[in-house]
Amino acid sequence: MSPLTIGKYTVPYPLIQGGMGVRVSAARLAGNVAKCGGVGLIATAGLVLNSPYKDKHNYFEADAMALKEELRKAYEIAPDGVIGTNCMVAVTNYDDVVRASCEGGAKILVTGAGLPLTLPGLTADYPDVALVPIVSSVRAARLIARKWSKSYNRLPDAVVVEDPDTAGGHLGEKMENIGTGEYDQYATVREVKAYFRDEWDLDIPIIAAGGVWDRADLEYALANGADAVQMASRFVCTEECDADAAFKQAYLDCTKEDIGLIMSPAGLPGRALKGNLDKIRAHDIDGKVSCPSACLKKCSYRKSKDCFCIVHALDRSQQGDRETGLIFCGTNAWKSDKIETVADIFAELFD
């Protein structure tokens, strides 16, 4: 297995730890993944919650301060590591989150939940920061590349190809197209790689995300055209994961049948433990939970109060509320059978 080079940064192992929002992948997890030789990602969504800045500043100002603090703490763990952020295009303060990531020292920005068409402009003052969009199709990769080239004379430093049939969290595909059996992740990986080679004479890493759990999955990905993998759910049941022990126990307890698709208030499908959706809705609707910040550009809960406040639901689960908290996960979460360390996972994957 070859090292992974994204832009100006190289890590020993071809692995990115996926971003998991509202403090599931924060400083401890990202820092320890970077320390072990992968790319560690801090998920920027909802970092302000449970931060010391929450009640002292307005939501978005506090969110940027909390992000910079997490980056600082991650670099304390891995001073020479490659640490980046995962930024959702769907959030209201996307522009500010991107800038705060750069100001805080993020070396790589991985961004999805929408097309990051303006990302190179937002990072123009930080040319060394590597830019990595998440796509699920060649069409999306083509739209991004053409826009970036025309408007900013910039192309991606790598691309993550996310499989909507297996990945956790928000998914970049229409609900009716997920799980039909028609999507071929590794055909898409190869097509995206060929597109950049043929259209732009550019050889960049194409990273497979979704459904990667163990060494066999990693070897399969690399053998089928991927240059690296992105893994998220596997890192939840580690000592270093930033979520509460009860959150991790939910992974240990779940079965295949507990995992399914939901429609997020953000207007995107998502994959999660779905058994408590009625309780999540009841908690927020009956309790008249208010929108704390208008954190999403598009939010059905803010508009009509007919589902739940996703940032509050994710925050509750991160703190250990399995009854009324939403727990995102990939299709392989049921394979969790023990609490291990990040170093244990790297030892298994890369021997």
Q: Token digits for 177? A: 């197209």
Instruction: Give the pLDDT score at 36.
Output: 98
Instruction: Tell me the C-alpha to C-alpha distance, in Å, between residue 127 and each of 24, 130, 152, 155, 206.
Output: 29, 8, 12, 12, 21
- Give the start-to-end residue ranges of the domains of the chain: 4-243+337-350, 246-318
Q: Rounded to an integer, what distance in angstroms lies between the CA atom of residue 235 and that of residue 253?
A: 16
Instruction: Give the pLDDT score at 300.
Output: 81
How high is the mean pLDDT of the chain? 94
Instruction: Give the pLDDT score at 304.
Output: 79
Question: Is residue 293 within 8 Å of 53, Cβ to Cβ?
Answer: no
Instruction: Give the pLDDT score at 53.
Output: 80
Instruction: Give the pLDDT score at 109.
Output: 98
Angle between helices 310-318 and 245-253 (to 10 degrees): 90
Amino acid residing at 40? G
Question: Is residue 44 within 8 Å of 86, Cβ to Cβ?
Answer: yes
For residue 68, count other CB atoms closer than 10 A to its CB. 17
Supply the pTM of this predicted model: 0.94
**Is beta strand 82-88 parallel, antiparallel or unpaired with respect to 108-112?**
parallel
Segment holding 220, helix H or strand E = helix 215-223
Instruction: Give the pLDDT score at 309.
Output: 87
Instruction: Give the pLDDT score at 305.
Output: 77
Instruction: Give the pLDDT score at 307.
Output: 85
Low-confidence ranges of the chain (pLDDT < 70): none
Instruction: Give the pLDDT score at 203.
Output: 96
Instruction: Give the pLDDT score at 59.
Output: 84
User: What is the fold of 4-243+337-350?
Assistant: TIM Barrel (3.20.20)
Q: What is the DSSP letter of 128?
A: T
Question: Is residue 31 within 8 Å of 75, Cβ to Cβ?
Answer: yes
Angle between helices 277-286 and 310-318 (to 10 degrees): 120
Q: Token digits for 319? A: 């703190």
Site of tokens 């996310």 = 162
What is the per-residue pLDDT across 133-147, written as a single tens digit (0 to 9) for each? 999 999 999 999 999
Helix (H, G, I), strand (E, B) or coil at 155: coil
Instruction: Give the pLDDT score at 212.
Output: 97
